[in-house]
Amino acid sequence: MTAEYKLTLPLITLAQADPRAREVLDRAKAQVGFIPNMYAGMVNLPGLLETYLLGYARFRSESGFTPAEQEVVFLTISRDNRCHYCMAAHSTLADKHSQVPMAVTDAIRDGKEISDPRLSALFDFTRIMLWTQGRPRQEDVAAFLKAGYSEHQILAIILAIAVKTLSNYSNHLFHTPVDEMFADRAWRGHDDD
């Protein structure tokens, strides 16, 4: 769901970027191979995109989650934040790169139960961290740990929430158009849950 207000700032290409923005876009392109529309908006404040890229890379490399689990965390946060852009992007990554069973990705997208118990526990705990602003109950943590996760991974979920807050909120304000490569997994969202 986009914000009522739409920023009037442009999506910045490499050719249009000032030296500081170009430096950050060059790093972004080196990481992902192209400049997604989301990055082109965020780079209006280079530090915003730079912080996102650093946090995203650290989550991917230091979370202790498998690629599929990482996608479950990102999809859960993006769904709860109702970010159409990130839902499309992470659904595509889940399908094509992270080996998330499509039934799991679709369950998250559609607000249905996840059949895999471990991924379901991850989904549930990520939502609890969002909904409680990082104040889970003892029993919430116990269920997460019982599913085979660690306290270290609780901190990794906080990092993912921070990263997705940067991108989801920026996308809401930019009304970021979904890149063509993610269009097959465009998400209209569910405002009733």
- For residue 50, the domain's CATH number is 1.20.1290.10
Structure tokens at 30: 């080196």
The pLDDT, as a whole number, for residue 192 is 45
Q: How many domains does the chain have?
A: 1
In-domain check, residue 67 = yes
pLDDT level of residue 190 (50, 70, 90 thresholds):
low
Within a domain: residue 9? no
Residue 5 is assigned to a structural domain of this protein? no
Residue 47 placed within a domain? yes
87 and 78 Cβ atoms separated by less than 8 Å: yes
Can you give the pTM of this predicted structure? 0.95
pLDDT at 125 over 50: yes
Q: Which run of H or of E encompasses 123?
A: helix 117-131
- Which of 158, 139, 178 lies closest to 62, judged by CA? 158
Give CB contacts under 8 A, 24+ apart, made by 127-131.
127/76, 127/80, 129/154, 129/157, 129/158, 129/161, 130/76, 130/77, 130/80, 130/161, 131/80
pLDDT of residue 6: 96
Per the structure, the complete domain to which residue 129 belongs is given by: 19-185
Between the alpha carbon of residue 33 and those of residues 24, 27, 30, 53, 122, the distances in Å are 13, 10, 6, 13, 29
What the block records as the tokens of 73 is 């965390």
Does the pLDDT at position 191 exceed 90?
Answer: no
Q: Is residue 141 part of a domain?
A: yes
CA atoms within 13 A on the CB side of 58: 16
Residue 33 lies in a domain: yes
Provide CB contacts within 8 A for 117, sequence distance 6+.
147
List pLDDT tens digits, range 61-100. 999 999 999 999 999 999 999 999 999 999 999 999 999 9
